[in-house]
Amino acid sequence: MPGLQEQLQTLHRVGITVRPGVSVQDLLNYGEDVIYKKPYFGLLLAMGGTRDSWPYAPLSDTIWHFDWEAIENPGDYVRIALRMRDLAGGSLPLEDVEDYVDIGSEEEDTAWLSFTLDGRAYHLDAEVKDDWADGKILEALDRLLHERDPQKGFICLTWMSQTCLLGCATAPQLQALREATELPFAWLTTEPIQKPASVQANYPRTCCCRPHSLSI
């Protein structure tokens, strides 16, 4: 079983790194048992999280442990867009990012995301289903990434959970990541998701990776 430093070095070789200043202890705060029980998977979960104190800064700009139940207040879709921008590593330079989220008020539930990219304004309406993020927003960002940089795409790893791991890679990087970690990462928008029965009613339809039988 590879040690923590070996796992970090392997992930670094395939383009997944922590932010400057992030320590091993920052990662271990996620849970040593998880990190060591599931090589690479547990470490990626930790790297995709945030510091455990204010301002809860991300530990990595190259992997994100994303929770689909993420939409409750204004700013939530902005946070998603900015994290996707960071994952793209300069290939998706979104600007003027704004959103509107009104859920559970007396008015009709409404949510949207707007931004500019290369001088062009975009407005994306989001479907509201309780506090679940609309997968079409992620798909739209993925399409824009492909248009600007055809060599890159967003990737994901799903399992029987409401969360997933998101990243960005070229085809060789994705293949290297799969081989190095033996984890079934896939392109974000390749095929419809197979929804776990426990969350069948609300699970997003448009995150296009199939869940796998991984457990934390």
Helix (H) or strand (E) holding 66: strand 63-67
The per-residue pLDDT for 142 is 95
Q: Is residue 124 part of a domain?
A: yes
The per-residue pLDDT for 205 is 36
% of residues, the chain, pLDDT over 70: 87
> Rounded CA gap, 180 and 11, in Å?
8
Q: Is residue 204 part of a domain?
A: no
- For residue 187, CA distances in Å to 155, 157, 203, 205 come to 4, 9, 19, 15
At residue 125, does pLDDT exceed 50? Answer: yes
Q: Is residue 195 part of a domain?
A: yes
Arithmetic mean of pLDDT over the chain: 87
Q: Is residue 60 part of a domain?
A: yes
Q: Is residue 113 part of a domain?
A: yes
- Among 51-55, 170-174, 180-184, where is mean pLDDT lowest? 51-55
The per-residue pLDDT for 165 is 97
For the chain, how many structural domains are there in total?
1
If you search the block for the tokens 């090589």, which residue do you land on? 39
Write the pLDDT tens digit of every residue in 181-208. 999 999 998 533 333 333 333 333 334 5
Query: Span 160-187, mean pLDDT?
Result: 94
Q: Is residue 207 part of a domain?
A: no
Q: Is residue 214 part of a domain?
A: no
The per-residue pLDDT for 34 is 84
Of 16, 19, 44, 17, give the one whose Cα is nearest residue 31.
Answer: 44
DSSP single-letter state for residue 189:
T
Domain that holds residue 111: 4-199
Structure token digits, residue 178: 């799969």
Query: Span 168-176, mean pLDDT?
Result: 93
Q: Is residue 216 part of a domain?
A: no
